[in-house]
Structure 1
Amino acid sequence: MKRRNLLRGALAAGLTAARTDVDQILSPGAPEGLADLEAAAESYGYGYHGQQPTRVLADLVSDFAGLRPLLAVPQPAPVRARLCRTAGQMAGMTAIVLHDLDSRRGSRAWFATAARAAAESGDDQLHAWVLAREAMVPLNYGAPKAAAGLAERARHAAGHRPTAAATLAAAVAARAYALNHQPEQARQALAAADALMERLPESERSDTWLTYGEQKHHVHLSHAFTTLADTARASESQQRALELSAPTSTMTRTLLNIDAAACAHHDGDTEQACRRTVAALAALPDGYRTGLVRRRALDLYEAIPAQHHRERAVRDLWDALALNP
């Protein structure tokens, strides 16, 4: 009897070990720390929340470094896909912050890393999102033709389903075409963005960097319509975007105010345009008057004919820009 019990015990232990081994192969557990890194990526997606971009950048890079040891060793395919997806998200958001800080070369390098990670993850929508966000680098720094090319690649990658990436890509394409003096293509892309936005599921409408909410939509429309000198439509989008923007959305609210100033210039009131822009810059905390905000204010200054540059309000705008190179 004792021997039989021992045999039964050994058999049970062997069965358990065999099942456990196969179970681990069939459903491998995620490495320790992956869930925390995924949660961190989701948290970063909510933007600056009043923090200086440099602080967010430092935290992002620190967490991104935590992915390296997990990616450096063989992982089961589902786990590798999760790791690559998280890496693509974090690298893309790092590139966004670098873009906002006017580090174009660094931004492009991080977008390249994000694109490779997104492609390896097999997530077409993440890949499209990376391309659409990357398009905003040349879009905001004087290369609208290159921006339109990237945005169209993003639209192709996203496909025709109403997703956050597809809607973002259409909106960015509209802005690029407007800046490239292609109003017909810009309006076609705007119509496509609006149509996608109407069909976008609620799950993709939250206000994060990785999704596409109504506030973000109107921020893009504001810039596109401002560039097209359609000041009435631009003003509508500016007001709606400001209503939907949190008080801590410092950079977004400033860009919307500069768009409104540019509309005043289009409508013939250059003095008001300059004064509004100077006030918007003066209200910013330290660390926010560089990069994209300064570039957008400089775009307004450069749009003012040279014969007006000696006027007091225009000189004040130039002085404000000179103080924040």
Structure 2
Amino acid sequence: MRGRPPACRDPDRGQDERHTLDAALACHSTPTELDFWEEVADTYAVGYGGQAPTARLAELADDVIALRTLLARPQTTTDRTRLCRTVGQLSGMAAIVLHDLGETREARGWFHSARMAAGESGARQLVAWLYAREAMTPLTYGVPRDAVRLADRALLAAGDSPSAAAALAAAVSARAHAVTGNREAARAALARTQEIADRLDSASTADTWLGLPEQKLHLSHAHTRLGATAQARAAQDRALQLSGPNSYQARALMRMDAALCDHHAGDKAQGCRRAVDAPIELPTDQRTGLVRSRAADLLRHIPASRTGERTVTDLRDLLRT
């Protein structure tokens, strides 16, 4: 006759192992927990909401640590898929804040971790969104060719269906090509951006970090770098109209684009004044690497013969603080 399971030969040991099993089963994430964390991700997706980037980053990091604990528990396939998707979203948002702060190396690391989680969840559009958002890091901080490469990966991951990720990737590609002086590729990417954006549904154009409203395409940047001043001014005005009063950085970036337009139009003094005023009008805790990088970009365009002028000196002093 077959013997009983080893755990049952000793009643006390059998009871201990049953309690261990009960504890392990209790370690599964519950639907209520998963619902909670998905709601947390939706809350973060609204953006800074007037909060300082460093404070937002601290909150995101704490919550990612909590989710890491959940990931270590045994999960059903369905629950792990949901959990990995949420981890991908929160990690991606932490990477966005690091990008805005100018912490490029850390940002790239968090984007990588976010894509690993998103890939495990099977969320293809989330993977595309992460590639597109990461492409903004080399674009902002002086490596536009890397931005094109990442934007291409985002478009490949997004597939043929219109999505916020695909539209953002095309827009970043347009801006990066404009920065490198590839006018033909920039114009083609601008056309592709508009074609995708025109097909987006209301959920895709929500004013969140996961959505892409018109003002966050930042097409004025591409038009500005192409020297299409009239189109750039129109895009800036439209973006400012659509941006809320708490969209501090978005509004500052539009003013930076306006400053570069002044430069292209020949009014370099006015351009410098705008560039100095834009970060000064920001709350102190919002004067991040993102805004400063645009000011530095303008400064690089100032000819050597004018570097001693007062407005140029003011701009240079601003970047030193």
Same fold, TM-score > 0.5, yes or no = yes
Gaps (5+ residues) in structure 1? 1-24
- For the pair 1:182 / 2:204, whether they are aligned, the reply is no
Per-residue CA deviation, residues 27-46 of structure 1 (Å, 9 max, x unaligned), is x9735522111111111111
Per-residue CA deviation, residues 154-179 of structure 1 (Å, 9 max, x unaligned), is 00110111111111111111111111
- For the pair 1:34 / 2:39, whether they are aligned, the reply is no
Q: Distance in 1 between matches of 2:267 and 2:310?
A: 14
Deviation at 1:74? Answer: 2.1
- For the pair 1:236 / 2:234, whether they are aligned, the reply is yes
Q: Distance in 1 between matches of 2:153 and 2:68?
A: 29
Deviation at 1:207? Answer: 0.4
Aligned equivalent of 1:318 = 316
Deviation at 1:200? Answer: 0.6
Aligned equivalent of 1:294 = 292
Aligned equivalent of 1:74 = 74
Deviation at 1:289? Answer: 2.1
Contact 1:31 1:70 in 2 (8 A): no
Contact 2:29 2:70 in 1 (8 A): no
Aligned equivalent of 1:45 = 45
Contact 2:100 2:290 in 1 (8 A): yes
Deviation at 1:280? Answer: 1.3
The TM-score normalised by the length of structure 1 is 0.88
Letter in 2 for 1:61: A
Aligned equivalent of 1:126 = 126
Contact 2:29 2:75 in 1 (8 A): no
Gaps (5+ residues) in structure 2? 1-24
Secondary structure at 1:119's aligned position in 2?
A: helix
Aligned equivalent of 1:214 = 214
Aligned equivalent of 2:110 = 110
Q: Distance in 2 between matches of 1:227 and 1:276?
A: 17
Letter in 2 for 1:69: T
Per-residue CA deviation, residues 48-106 of structure 1 (Å, 9 max, x unaligned), is 11111011111111111111121112211111111010000000000000010010111
Letter in 1 for 2:146: A
Per-residue CA deviation, residues 267-307 of structure 1 (Å, 9 max, x unaligned), is 10000001111111221211222311111101101111111
Secondary structure at 2:284's aligned position in 1?
A: coil
Identity %, equivalent residues: 53
Aligned equivalent of 2:193 = 193
Contact 1:87 1:114 in 2 (8 A): yes
Aligned equivalent of 1:303 = 301
Q: Distance in 2 between matches of 1:174 and 1:117?
A: 28
Q: Distance in 2 between matches of 1:82 and 1:167?
A: 25
Per-residue CA deviation, residues 176-198 of structure 1 (Å, 9 max, x unaligned), is 11112111111111101100111
Contact 1:170 1:189 in 2 (8 A): yes
With over 3 angstroms needed to count, the CA separation of the structure-2 counterparts of 1:308 and 1:81, relative to structure 1, is same
Deviation at 1:118? Answer: 0.8
Aligned pairs for 1:262-273 (under 5 A) are: 262-273=260-271
Secondary structure at 2:57's aligned position in 1?
A: helix
Q: Distance in 2 between matches of 1:132 and 1:202?
A: 20
Aligned equivalent of 2:12 = none
Q: Distance in 2 between matches of 1:33 and 1:302?
A: 50
Aligned equivalent of 1:9 = none
4+ residue stretches of structure 1 with deviation over 4 A?
A: none
Aligned equivalent of 1:22 = none
The TM-score normalised by the length of structure 2 is 0.89
